[in-house]
Chain A
Amino acid sequence: MSTEKVKKTVPYTVPIGPVHPALKEPVMFTFGMEGEIVRTVDFAPGQTHRGIEWMGMRRNPVQIVHLTDRICGICGIVHSLSFARAVEQIAEIQVPERADYIRTILHELERIQSHLLWAGVAAHELGFDSLFYLTWRVREQSMDLIENLTGNRVNYGIVQIGGVRRDISDEQRVLAEKGLDYYQGLLDKMATLFLEDSTILMRCRGHGILSEQDARLLCTIGPTARASGLNMDVRQDYPYCAYGDLDVKAILPPPETGGPKGDVYDRIIVRLLEVGQSIGIIRQCLENLPAGEILWEPKMAKLLAVLKKAEGEGIGRVEAPRGECMHYVKMAGKEAPESWKVKASSYSNLMSWIPMLQGEQLADVPIIVASIDPCLSCTDRVAVTRNGRSDILTKEDLSRLSREKTRRMMQ
């Protein structure tokens, strides 16, 4: 609904964004308010388009891997992994088993780190800053572990086409196991602090509801969809890396907590349980870590030569902490890929804001917005500006443009 139309039907509008303390990343909301109640919701993403894909078209896959690390500050492994998997598919590269296991370990560590980050943000949005400090403090442990394994806290630079760049040594294994024990112990405490707190219960139970049907219709993914009762998880449905060897089941809000209601509270529960699941997965991977190489081709010059010859299309899908992340790559026997398209996980979840927010109070906007764990910098793929003015493209415009592009690419 356009802003003018909103103004006519509701008493007043409250803008939130693009820069606002409730939002950790820029998006523009316009709420039509009636007293404290949100009647209409409109939002405009696209405030942080950075042209990453454009940069990718001017680089070879080995360079792009490190660029994908920077699509998102949190999902570094997710993006580089799905890009690498797409390219590996095209060039028919067989990733060594050990590398697949290490990828899985890091992927899950990243999930722990990301979910803890989210839990802290959620606590802050609820006005519960002590819990925010506590969560972020314990999150440091996972960052330290990741730093030790990959060499950096963020932008890990660990995934390479055909494997991983660093092995896990025996000392690091001990360290990782210690870290897991720490989180295992911590998890109960977290569960108590989040789930037994009556103020959090008051604020989250029954708010920001996304019904199962809405979740399905709006194609939501990840914890957002699972909290609404959709049994879906890429790790379970289309296992990749080491997940085929493991027993990963999508986590739904357990019936003891009242079954999937699809509210903010369920999203907290799902994420907390997923931290536990990740700990289990990493444990299993560390135990069964196969011996062997970690790279398909350690000599990068050779790898580059193979990639240069590669032709075809590939799709890499992984389950990011926020849901499915997908990279589409098309190579045509050149240094740089001919096309590269990123679908970050939050992209599929943004539309669920509208049914969640309608009829809620303004006070709940921050936590509901945060409850899908939106990551907008990775989501913004287009920004249309013409003569210094930004335009909104309709569905028809978009489908026409994509048809034209496909035609161009076919020629």
Chain B
Amino acid sequence: MIGNLPMILVGAVLIAVFSIIIGLLLMGFDRIVAARMQARIGPPLTQPFTDIRKLLAKENVVPENAIPWLFNLAPVLALASAITILLYLPIAGFAPVLSGGGDLILVMYLLTIPALALVAGGFASGSPYATVGAQREMVTMIAYEFPLAIVIIAIAWKLAAAGIALPFTLASIQANPVWSLVGPLGVIGLLILLIVLLIVTPAELSRVPFDTPEAETELAGGILVEYSGKNLALFSLTQGVKTVAMASLVVALFFPYSLAAILGIAGIPAAVTDILFFIVLITIVAFLSVSLVRVSMARFRINQVISVYWIYLAIAGLAGLLLVMTDQIVGVI
């Protein structure tokens, strides 16, 4: 472990830089595609970078009745934890930088930390809008956690049933794409689970229709209303990194393929192909679950967010799980 430390540090820095850059590019891509879908031209691809640069140059206002240390700590915590998630996820076919026994469960927990940091920051702002936003964020979090857990458990169960050791590690998921383990029924089940995960993503990222915590029209930005300058820049970066993290999770769980292996390339070209392939994959995921969804619906009310996740998606997820299980049993017989 100690000997690994330099490697881990280098890996962590690389991942941080990679995820921030790709995250911002993904945000820029999302803005362009969303604009096109709304028949607008939209900003250039690099607009998020410009925005961050501008935010960093701006004054960092701390409201009078805020709790300063918590208010300032929250964005740092959010970004750090978002990057940490990526350290546990396989990126572009490379093994995760950090890995241990149950890292899928760990990823699930880590995913909640940026949201919790946001909630803490919201409560610490001392504004009624931010308070309402923070309450909503907590409720949203509780709502989407359940379907997310179903998806993860379904996949791990499948791997375990197929006799693979350490089913919760992403490395084994990486090595054994789930699609190849199931029959036709299971494919339908997995498709349903994929859709569930794609619908959990916008809530995880606070985008329409699940952007209730930020709800521009009634809460004026809600949880982020008091943030400005450097702190807001950190939250924007978190948003970008979280987009990468969620998209990578989808890719890692459902599409752990390597284009280079399929094409039979090796060495440096293989790494390049795989990185590009990975970027294309997460871009597609981001388009489907963020851009397309956010331009084609109205925002949900908070109780509707709960019913969507706890009733519709939970049922869909369980149905998916059941299909995968049936498939397994039928397959064994």
Residues 116-160 (chain A) with a chain B CB within 8 angstroms: 123-131, 133-134, 137
Answer whether A14 and B300 are a contact pair too, CB < 8 Å, given A125-B217, A199-B209, A363-B215.
no
Q: Kindly supply a per-residue 1/0 record for chain B positions 39-50, scoring 1 wherever the CB is within 8 Å of any chain A CB and 0 otherwise.
A: 110000000000
Cβ-closest chain B residue relative to A124:
B217
Residues A363 and B220 in contact, CB atoms below 8 Å apart:
no
Residues A128 and B218 in contact, CB atoms below 8 Å apart:
no
Residues B301 and A364 in contact, CB atoms below 8 Å apart:
yes
Q: Does B211 contact A (CB under 8 A)?
A: yes
Binds B, one of A15-23, A70-78, A230-238, A340-348: A15-23
Q: Looking at the complex, which one of A13, A124, A197, A203 makes contact with B128 (CB distance below 8 Å)?
A: A13
Q: Does A374 contact B (CB under 8 A)?
A: no
Residues A362 and B128 in contact, CB atoms below 8 Å apart:
no
Query: Which residues on B sit within 8 Å (CB–CB) of A36?
Result: 132, 135-136, 302-303
Bound Cα distance from A366 to B220, whole angstroms: 11
Residues A128 and B298 in contact, CB atoms below 8 Å apart:
yes
Q: Does B38 contact A (CB under 8 A)?
A: yes
Query: Which residues on B sit within 8 Å (CB–CB) of A366?
Result: 217-218
Shortest C-beta distance, B71 to chain A (Å), equals 20
Residues A14 and B132 in contact, CB atoms below 8 Å apart:
yes
Q: Kindly supply a per-residue 1/0 record for chain A positions 1-33, scoring 1 wherever the CB is within 8 Å of any chain B CB and 0 otherwise.
A: 000000000001111100011100000000001
Answer whether A127 and B211 are a contact pair too, CB < 8 Å, given A21-B217, A365-B218.
yes
Cβ-closest chain B residue relative to A20:
B220
Query: Which residues on A sit within 8 Å (CB–CB) of B301?
Result: 202-203, 361, 363-364
Q: Does B296 contact A (CB under 8 A)?
A: yes
Q: Does B195 contact A (CB under 8 A)?
A: no
Residues 88-138 (chain B) with a chain A CB within 8 angstroms: 128-129, 132, 135-136
Interface residues in A, total, Cβ within 8 A: 33
Residues B217 and A15 in contact, CB atoms below 8 Å apart:
no
Query: Which residues on B sit within 8 Å (CB–CB) of A129?
Result: 38, 208, 295
Q: Does A200 contact B (CB under 8 A)?
A: yes
Query: Which residues on A sit within 8 Å (CB–CB) of B297?
Result: 128, 197, 199
Residues 212-257 (chain B) with a chain A CB within 8 angstroms: 212, 215-220
Q: Which of A13, A33, A129 has the most CB of B within 10 A?
A: A129
Shortest C-beta distance, A119 to chain B (Å), equals 13
Answer whether A127 and B220 are a contact pair too, CB < 8 Å, given A133-B40, A363-B215.
no
Shortest C-beta distance, A31 to chain B (Å), equals 10
Query: Which residues on B sit within 8 Å (CB–CB) of A14?
Result: 128-129, 132
Residues B38 and A133 in contact, CB atoms below 8 Å apart:
yes
Cβ-closest chain B residue relative to A367:
B217
Shortest C-beta distance, A311 to chain B (Å), equals 51
Q: Does B172 contact A (CB under 8 A)?
A: no
Bound Cα distance from A22 to B303, whole angstroms: 20
Residues A126 and B302 in contact, CB atoms below 8 Å apart:
no
Shortest C-beta distance, A258 to chain B (Å), equals 20
Shortest C-beta distance, A21 to chain B (Å), equals 5
Bound Cα distance from A22 to B299, whole angstroms: 14
Q: Kindly supply a per-residue 1/0 record for chain B positions 275-307, scoring 1 wherever the CB is within 8 Å of any chain A CB and 0 otherwise.
A: 000000000000000000001111111111000
Q: Does B37 contact A (CB under 8 A)?
A: yes
Shortest C-beta distance, A280 to chain B (Å), equals 29
Bound Cα distance from A55 to B124, whole angstroms: 49
Query: Which residues on A sit within 8 Å (CB–CB) of B39?
Result: 133-134, 137
Shortest C-beta distance, B136 to chain A (Å), equals 8
Residues B132 and A362 in contact, CB atoms below 8 Å apart:
yes
Cβ-closest chain A residue relative to B216:
A21
Answer whether A130 and B296 are a contact pair too, CB < 8 Å, given A21-B220, A22-B217, A363-B215.
yes
Bound Cα distance from A311 to B101, whole angstroms: 94
Bound Cα distance from A290 to B310, whole angstroms: 64
Answer whether A126 and B132 are a contact pair too, CB < 8 Å, given A20-B220, A363-B212.
no
Shortest C-beta distance, A79 to chain B (Å), equals 28
Answer whether A197 and B40 are a contact pair too, CB < 8 Å, given A14-B132, A16-B218.
no
Residues B302 and A361 in contact, CB atoms below 8 Å apart:
yes
Q: Which of A15, A124, A126 has the most CB of B within 10 A?
A: A126
Query: Which residues on A sit within 8 Å (CB–CB) of B216?
Result: 21, 127
Instruction: Please list the residues of chain B having a beta carbon within 8 angstroms of any beta carbon in chain A.
Output: 37-40, 128-129, 132, 135-136, 208-209, 211-212, 215-220, 295-304
Which 3 A-B residue pairs are closest in the complex by CB-CB distance?
A: A127-B299, A126-B298, A128-B298
Instruction: Please list the residues of chain A having a beta carbon within 8 angstroms of any beta carbon in chain B.
Output: 12-16, 20-22, 33, 36, 123-131, 133-134, 137, 197, 199-200, 202-203, 361-366
Contacts A33-B132, A127-B215, A129-B38 known; 18 new A-B pairs at CB < 8 A? A14-B128, A15-B128, A21-B217, A124-B217, A125-B217, A127-B211, A127-B216, A127-B298, A128-B208, A130-B296, A133-B38, A134-B38, A199-B209, A199-B298, A361-B302, A361-B303, A363-B302, A365-B218
Q: List 21 A-B contacts (CB under 8 A).
A: A13-B128, A22-B220, A36-B132, A36-B136, A127-B211, A128-B208, A128-B297, A130-B38, A131-B298, A133-B40, A197-B297, A199-B209, A200-B298, A202-B298, A202-B301, A203-B300, A361-B301, A362-B132, A363-B212, A363-B302, A365-B218
